[in-house]
A and B are shown apart, each in its own frame.
Chain A
Amino acid sequence: MSAPALPAVSTPTAGGSGPRRAPRFAWWYVTEHLLRGMRGYLPTVVATAIGTPVVYLAVFGIGLGALITENVAPAGSAATTYLQFVAPALLCMSAFALASEEFSFGIALHLTWRKVFEGTRATPIASGQIADGFVAFVAIRMVITAGVYGAVIAAFGVVPLGAIPALVLTGVLGGLAVSPLAVYAARIQGESGQFAIVQRVIILPLTLFSGTLFPLTQLPIFLQPIGWISPLWHAAELGRFLAFGPSGQWVAALVHVAVLVAVAAGGWIGLRVVLTRRLER
C-alpha cells in the first residue's frame, strides 16, 4: 500500500526548526493543560458550585437556623443569625473539599493512573514547574467554586457583598493548606484504598470538628486541638472575622493567615520535591 504524501510542514527546513530554549512561565502551560481537561466536566463543576451552596443555605438557614436561635457568634461580631455564623465557614468548606479531592485523587490520576505528568516531564517543563502548575490549577478551581458560593450567599443577603472577595481568598488559602495531602498522594505508587481512608478518617472529622458548624469551644478541651491543626478552622475563623468582625481582632487574624500560608507553602515545596523524585528516577 502506498502511504499518502507527507503534508507540507510550516517551515521549509523542518527537522529541527523548533524552539531552542525552554519557555518562560512554563508552569502556566501545565495549568492550561489541566484547565482544558476540566472543560470536559465543566457543566458538573458549575452545577455543583451553584447547587451545593443553595442546598446548604436551605438546610442551615431554613432548617437548622430555625432551631438554633441562640447567637453563637463571638461577642462584637456583626453576625446575628446562625446562618451568618455558618456561611463563611461553608464557603471555606467548599474549597477545602475540592482541595482534598484534587490533592489526593487528582495527583494520583495525573501521576500514577494516567501518567500524564510523565509526558509533561519529557518537554521543557521541569518537575517543580509541574507541581507549581498543578497547585495553580487547584487554586483556580477553588476560586471558581468559592466564588460561586460567595455570589450565592451575597445574593441571599447573608454576607455583605464587599466581604466576598476577601472570603474567597480565605477559602482558597485554606484549601491550599491541604497541599501536604498531595505530598502523601505523590509518594504512593499504587493507590489501593488509601484515599478513601484518608477521606473518612482525616478529612471528614476535620470538616466536622473545625469550628465550622458550631464554635470550636463547644467541644471538650481535649478535642479542640483537632481544630487548631485544621486548615479549615483557621480559614473559617478568618473568614468570619473578615465578614463580620469583631474589628480589632487583627492579631488573631494574622495568626490564622500565617499558619495557613506556612502550611500551604510547606505542602507546595514538599510536592515539588516528591514530584521531582518520582518523575526523575
Chain B
Amino acid sequence: MTLAAPSAGTTGAGAAGPVIRAVDLRKSYGDTHAVDGLSFEVTSGEAFGLLGPNGAGKSTTMRMIGAVTTRTGGELEILGLDPDRSGPDIRAQLGVVPQQDNLDDELRVRENLLVYGRYFGLPRAQVARRADELLEFAQLADRAKARVDALSGGMKRRLTIARALISDPRILLLDEPTTGLDPQARHILWDRLFRLKERGTTLVLTTHHMDEAEQLCDRLVVVDKGRIMAEGSPAQLIREHSSREVLELRFGSDRNEAAAETLAGVGDRLEVLPDRVLVYAADGEAALVEAHARGLAPITSLVRRSSLEDVFLRLTGRSLIE
C-alpha cells in the first residue's frame, strides 16, 4: 500500500499555519479524565487520525474540536479561533459526522440535507443544488424521497456524511465514519474521503480500524486513556515501534504459552495472545525456520508485514479491537 504525500499546496490561503492546534487539552467528567493532556497540530489539507480503543477519549476530543463541548483545561485553537469564544463561527466552517447518526427521521432523505444546509445560512437554491450533488456522491439519489427510518444502517451513515458536506466545510470531522458499513461501502467511502482530501479539505477522523488509518491518514496519534502514546505517519509508527515483519503462530489455545517459552530469543520480541503467538522479526520466514528447528509444530503459521495493530499492541499491551 502506498501512502499519499501530505497534500501541501492544494489550498491557497491559510495553508501556512495549523488549522487545529491543541496544547495540553483536557476534559473531565467528574473524576473521569476523558481527555488528559493532548497536544497536537493539524495542518491545512492534512488527513489526521485519532486511533485508540473504546473509551480512549476520541469522541470527546472530536466534540471539543467541533466546538460543541467546552474544554476543562489546556489550549485549543480551530482555524485561529478559540471555541470558547467563537463557537458558531468555527462551526460554520466544519462538517461533522458524529459517532452516532442523528438524522431527523421525521423528514425525508433529501430534506435532511436541505434543513441542514439552511443552518449555515446558505440560500435555498444553492442548498438544493448541493443536496442533489451530494445524494449522487453518497449513492442515495434514488432514495431522495425515502423516509430516513427506511434506510439501512450503512445508508444512514452515508447520508450523515453527505449532510456534513452540505456547507462545503474547510475541516471535516469524522468520528468512526465507517462503523456499520460493509467492506464494499467502506472502500467507496475511503475513495470519497480521499478525493475530498485531494481537493484540500482537512480531514480529522477517529477509528479503531488500522487499515482505515493506514489508508486515509497522513499522520495520526495513538490515544489511550486520554493520552497520546505515539505520533507519526503510519509508516513511521510501524518503523519506530514494530519490526518489519510478523510471524503469527497458532498452537491451539492451551499450548501458546509453552510454545512461547520455547521460542524465547527468536526474532526481536514475542507477544502471546490468547489465540496465537506473534514473533516480531525483520525476516519472518527465517523466524519460522528457527521455530521448526526448535521442534515446534504450529497448527498454522503466517508471515505478514507489521501493521498499526502491532504498534498499538506494543504501546498499550492491548488489542485495538477487544
Contact = CB atoms under 8 A, between A and B. Distances in A.
Contacts of B275: none
Interface string A1-41: 10110111111011111111111101001101100110010
B119 A125 contact: yes
B149 to A, nearest CB: 10
Contact of A6 (B29, B115, B195): B195
Nearest to A279: B68
A152 interface: no
B143 interface: no
A141 to B, nearest CB: 14
B256 interface: no
Contact of A122 (B66, B107, B114): B66
B86 to A, nearest CB: 9
Interface string A113-134: 0111011111111100000000
B103 interface: yes
B168 interface: yes
Contacts of B94: 122
Interface string B106-138: 110001001110111110001001100100110
B102 interface: yes
A9 B68 contact: no
A32 B121 contact: no
Given A6-B195, A22-B121, A33-B104, A122 B68 contact: yes
What bracket does the count of chain A residues touching chain B fall in? Answer: 35 or more
Contact of B133 (A9, A18, A121): A9
B91 A123 contact: yes
B106 A40 contact: yes
Interface in B1-39: 10-12, 29
B201 interface: yes
Nearest to A281: B69
B236 interface: no
Interface string B135-167: 011010000000000000000000000010001
A14 B96 contact: no
Contacts of B70: 280
Interface in B173-231: 184, 187-188, 191-192, 195-197, 199-202
Interface in A62-106: none
B93 A116 contact: no
Interface residues of B, number: 59
A3 B191 CA distance: 8
B100 interface: yes
A9 B199 CA distance: 11
A17 B137 contact: no
Nearest to A28: B118
Nearest to B60: A281
Nearest to B44: A16
Given A37-B104, A124-B91, A19 B199 contact: no
Contacts of A120: 119
A114 B111 CA distance: 16
Given A37-B106, A114-B102, A116-B102, A18 B119 contact: no
A111 B96 CA distance: 18
Contact of B88 (A40, A126, A279): A126
Contacts of A20: 89, 92-93
Nearest to B164: A122
B13 to A, nearest CB: 10
B169 A124 contact: no
A213 to B, nearest CB: 35
Interface in A142-165: none
Nearest to A6: B195
B58 interface: no
Contacts of B195: 6
Contact of A21 (B11, B92, B103, B139): B92
Contacts of B199: 9, 13-15
A190 to B, nearest CB: 16
Tell me which of A119, A122, A281 has the highest count of chain B C-beta atoms within 10 A of its own C-beta.
A122
B120 A10 contact: no
A115 B87 CA distance: 20
Tell me which of B103, B118, B167 has the highest count of chain A C-beta atoms within 10 A of its own C-beta.
B118
B265 to A, nearest CB: 46
Interface string B60-79: 00000010111000000000
Given A15-B199, A124-B89, A118 B98 contact: yes
Contacts of A7: 133, 136-137
Contacts of A118: 98, 102
Given A6-B192, A37-B104, A114-B102, 17 more contacts: A1-B187, A8-B133, A10-B129, A15-B196, A16-B170, A16-B171, A16-B202, A22-B121, A23-B119, A32-B118, A36-B111, A119-B102, A120-B119, A123-B91, A123-B116, A123-B119, A279-B68
21 contacts: A3-B187, A9-B133, A10-B126, A10-B133, A14-B199, A16-B93, A16-B171, A18-B167, A19-B120, A22-B89, A23-B119, A26-B119, A26-B121, A33-B119, A36-B115, A116-B102, A120-B119, A123-B92, A123-B116, A123-B120, A123-B167
Interface of A: 1, 3-4, 6-11, 13-24, 26, 29-30, 32-33, 36-37, 40, 114-116, 118-126, 279-281
- Enumerate the 4 nearest inter-chain pairs by beta-carbon distance, A residue then B residue, closest first: A23-B121, A22-B88, A16-B170, A15-B201
